[in-house]
Amino acid sequence: MARTAPLREIRRYQKSTELLIRKLPFQHLVREIAQDFKPDLRFQSSAVMALQEASEVYLGGLLEDTNLCATHGKRVTIMLKDIQLARRIRGECA
């Protein structure tokens, strides 16, 4: 079946401990967001790494829950409404 290759890839990434988001773009995003709160805010590299690890764990879980919502709706493609439902079920603001 054609859907097994993407599922295998998803499982491989789920088992992996390596970071999936490239470090430099993530660091730039963190600094850009931080500028809105305090323009001269500085980060230790370990703090950025901790933020990245936490972000990837959060996003991975959210996407897993989102996929369950899509599957429950008998779809293979996730949609915005699946993300919104997953966040609502988790008790997050949507």
60 confidence band (pLDDT: 50, 70, 90): very high
Statement: residue 63 has pLDDT above 70: yes
The reported pLDDT for the residue numbered 4 is 75
The reported pLDDT for the residue numbered 93 is 80
- The C-alpha torsion from 20 through 60 and 38 to 23, rounded to 10°, is 0
The reported pLDDT for the residue numbered 62 is 95
CATH 1.10.20.10 matches 21-90 = yes
Statement: residue 8 has pLDDT above 90: no
User: Where are the chain's structural domains?
Assistant: 21-90
The reported pLDDT for the residue numbered 16 is 78
Statement: residue 94 has pLDDT above 60: no
- Average pLDDT of the chain is 91
